[in-house]
Amino acid sequence: MNYRQPVGKIKETLLSTLDRVFGVSLENATDEQCYKAVALTVRDLMAAGRSEYMANAEKTHTKQVYYLCMEFLLGRSLKNNLFNLGIEEDFRKALAELGLKLDCLYEQEPDAGLGNGGLGRLAACFMDALATQGYPATGYSLRYEYGIFRQKLVDGWQTELPDFWLPGGKIWMQAIPEKSVEVHFNGHIEEYWNNQYHVVNHKDYTKVTAVPYDMYIAGMDGRGISRLRVWAASSAEFDMNLFNSGNYMRAMEQNAMAEVITKVLYPEDNHLEGKSLRLSQQYFLVSATIQDIIRRHLFKYSTLDNLPDLVAIHLNDTHPVLAIPEMMRVMLDECGYGWDAAWDIVTRTIAYTNHTVMKEALECWGVELFQSRLPRIYQIVEEINRRFCAQMHEKGVDGYKVGRMAPLNDGYVKMANLAVVSSHSVNGVSQLHSDILKNTVFHDFYTEMPERFTNVTNGIAHRRWLNQANPGLAGLITGLIGDSYIHDAAQLQKLGRFADDASVLGQMAKVKRENKLRLAEYIKKENCMEVDPDSIFDVQVKRMHEYKRQHMNALHILSVYQWLRENPNAEFTPHTYIFGAKAAPGYYFAKQMIRFIVDLGNTINSDPRVNQKMKVIYLEDYRVTLAELLTPAADLSEQISLAGTEASGTSNMKFMINGAVTIGTLDGANVEIHDAVGDDNILLFGMTAAEVDALKPNYDPRTYFNASPAMKQAVEELNTGFCGVKFNDIADSLLNHDPYMVLADFDSYAKAQKKAETLYGDAKNWQRMCLMNTANAGRFAADRAIREYAENIWHAQPLPEDAAEKETPLKRARLGRKSK
C-alpha cells in the first residue's frame, strides 16, 4: 500500500476531520484537537494498510505470530508511525501550510499507559521488527485505564498518582465491540467423566466481558503493520432484579468488580485481594486472547488440526502462561477434542520466553486461591501435572527431581514449570541468561529435554532509538555510510573505518554536545537545576530494584562527595549523575533507595564546596519519551547489576547505539556487548557470575567493609543521613545481608569510575570509544532477534514479497530507482 499522499490531500483530510469529529474549524481548534485529527488520519491509513496486509497473508497462508505479554511499553505513537511510514515530512509540510508545527503536536500525546519496564519495551520493539520484516503479527495485552502510575517525588519519597493517559491516548485505538468475548471466573465444576476427559458442566460462574481495542504499529516503509489488541473488562450484564429490589449498591458493585480487572498494570499483591486481582488479570488476558485466536482460525479453516502449521503463540514471560490450560479447556470443552490430540496441538503451537534468572521471582499461585478463582483451569493443570509426573516416573527419573519439575507441588501452581512442560521451545534472552537457565533455574528440565532449550538475545528497535531519538547522529551516519543500516543494522559496522578520522570524531562530539544541551534545558525546566554540558553525563535509568544496584552507584557518589569535601581544590573531572526509575508501590526498600539518591543529590547540589564539580539529578516519572531525550545525551551507561542477576537488559543496547560507553559487570547482554566492542571500548568491573556463585555461600559483607576506608566512611554516613533523614535500613542491609554483594564489588566499581574520568579527559580516544560502540551495535537490533525467533522457534516465513507491493515510493527513492 502506498501511504504517501499529496500535501493538499493531507490538508483536506485534516480540516475535514476537525470539522466532522470535533466540530471545529482550524481557527478555533486547540493543539490537542489538531493532534487528534492527525492521529486519526494516520490511524485510518494504517487500518487500511493492515487490512490489505492481512488479506495477502491469508491468501498465501502465511503463518501468523501471536505475541502475548502483560505489557507493551509503546511510548508515543504519532512520531514513530509517521517516521516508519515515510510520511513525516509530508505531514510536516502540510501542517506548516496550515500554520501548525508538527513538533508541537507531538507534545500533545501522552505516553501510552500500557507498560512499565524492559519487558514491555522489548514487546513494543518486537512489534516494530515483526512489521518491518513482513511477519503477520498480533500482540495481545490489556487496556489499562491508569497505566502503572505517574511518579511524583514528595520530599524525596515516591508517591503514586493515577496516570490519566486515555483521554489523549485512546485516539489510536479502534473499539471492536462485535469481537467481544466472555471470560468466566469462580463457580464450581460438576463432572461427568468419559474416556476422553472433557465432559464438564461449569456452574454458577461469574461472567466478565472482554472488549477488544486495536492499535497499529507501522513497520519501516510500511511493508507490514502489526496490530496490538488490548482487552478492556466490563460487566457482562446489569442485574435489573437487584436494582429494582432496591439493592442499588450491590447491582453497581458487580459492574465495578468486573471493570477493576483492567484499571491498573501490576496492582500491588502483598495482600490476598491484590493476588486475586493479578491472577484475574492474567486469566482475563489469556482467555480472551485464546478464544479470539481460535475463533479466527476456525472461521478461516474450520479445523484446529492445522493450527501449529499456521499459528505461533508466544508467551513473553510467565504472566500469560495460563494460555496453556485455557487453550486445552477450549479444545476439550468447546471443540470436542480428546486430551492427546488437544495436547499435541497446544504443545506444538506455544513457545515460552523466560525473563528472570532468580528462582524467587518465578511466579507461583497458592492452590486455594487458584482453585477457587479458576476451578476448571485448576482441574486441567492437575491433569497436566499428573500426566507429566507419570511420564517422568516411567522414564525412571528420581522422585525428588520430578517433584522439583512438577507444575503442581508444595501447595502451589508453579507457572514457569507449567510453561516448560507445555511448550515446544524455551528460550532465555542473552547467552549468559540462557546458560544460567540450563545450569541452575531449569537444570532438571534441561537434563531431561535439552532439545527444548535455546537462546535469543534481546534486541531494540534501532530505527526508533537511533533515527528518531537521535536525528543528529543518524544524519551523520547516513552521510558517512548511506542509509542501508536503517533496514540492516549490521551495516553500522562500516562506521568502524572512521575510528581514527579526527573530523568524523569531532562531528560525533558536536552531535553529542547538542544532545546534552537539549537534555540540560529539560533538567533546568523540570528540576530547576543548571548542569554543565561539558561534564560527564553518567546515566542509570531502569526499574528501581536492589539487584540493579542503584544504591551502589549512589554510595560511590557519596564517597566522591566526601573526598571532594575534604579536598575541594583537587583536580576532578566534572560529573552530572543522572537517575530515573520507578519503584513498585509496595517495594519499601526500593523507595528508600530513591529517597537516598534524591536527598543525597539535594545535599550535593546545594553545597558550594562541590556543586561546580558534581551534581546529582533524579528525573521524575521516567518513561519512554524521557528515555528518547536522555539516551542520546549519555556519556556513560550504568549497567551495574550483580553478575548472574540481569537476564539481558535493553537499555544497555539503546545507550550503546547512541555512542555511550558502558560501565558494567559481565552480566546479561553486557557479556555480548563486551564481545562486540572488545576490551578497549567498555569499562568492566566486579565479579563474574561464576565468582559470585563461588563466594555466595560464605559471603561476609563486613570483611569488605573493614578493608575499604572510602566505602566504610560512606556506609557510616548513611546512618547520619541527609536532609534530616537517616538511611539506617540501607546501611543495615549492606552490612548484615547485602544480598546483591554491593560491598564486594564496590572498590572495583570505584576504580572503573576513576578510569572513566581519565579516558574522558582524552577527547579523541573517548570519541573513538563512542564511535566503536555505535559501529558494533547492529547485532542488538530487534530485527535480528525476530529473525532468530521466526527461523528457530516459530518456523515462520515473512509474507512473500510478490503477495504485496514490493517497494514503497520511499524505499524506491532510497534505492535510487524510478517510480513505477
Place of cell 501449529: 308
818 annotated active-site: no
Rounding to the nearest 10 degrees, give the CA dihedral for residues 584, 650, 314, 76: 70
Quick one: three-class SS letters along 656-687?
Answer: HHCCCEEEECCCCCHHHHHHHHCHHHCEECCC
39 with 22: CB under 8 angstroms? no
Active-site residue flag, 654: yes
Locate cell 503463540: which residue? 313
Dihedral pair phi/psi, residue 50, rounded to 5°: -65, -40
Residue 26 · residue 15 · CB < 8 Å: yes
Q: Residues 219, 225: contact at Cβ < 8 Å?
A: yes
Among residues 11, 143, 376, 542, the one annotated as catalytic is: 542
Report the distance separating Cα 463 and Cα 469, nearest Å: 8
Q: Which of 452, 464, 512, 654 is catalytic?
A: 654
Residue 698 · residue 756 · CB < 8 Å: no
- Angle (deg, nearest 10), helices 502-527 and 471-481: 170
State the virtual CA torsion across 482, 484, 488, 489 in degrees, nearest 10: 20
- The residue with cell 505489557 is 71
300 is catalytic: no
**What grid cell was written down for 525?**
525546566
How many beta carbons lie within 10 A of that of residue 297, not counting itself?
17
Neighbours of 271 (CB within 10 A): 11
Q: For residue 799, which phi and psi values (nearest 5 degrees)?
A: -60, 125
Report which DSSP code applies to 636.
E
- Region at 305 (left for phi over 0; alpha for psi -120 to 50; beta for the rest): alpha
- 615: Cβ contacts below 8 Å, ≥ 6 apart: 529, 531, 532, 535, 575, 576, 577, 601, 604, 605
Told to judge if 227 belongs to the known catalytic residues of this protein, a careful annotator would answer no
355 is catalytic: yes
Q: State the catalytic residue, choosing from 79, 223, 543, 779.
A: 543
For strands 188-191 and 200-203, give the pairing. antiparallel
**Rounded distance, CA 250 to CA 235, Å?**
13
**Choosing from 36, 227, 229, 355, which is the catalytic residue?**
355
Q: Residue type at 742?
A: V
Q: Is 297 a catalytic residue?
A: no
Of the candidates 13, 209, 289, 650, the residue annotated as catalytic is 650
Residues that are catalytic: 355, 542-543, 548, 650, 654
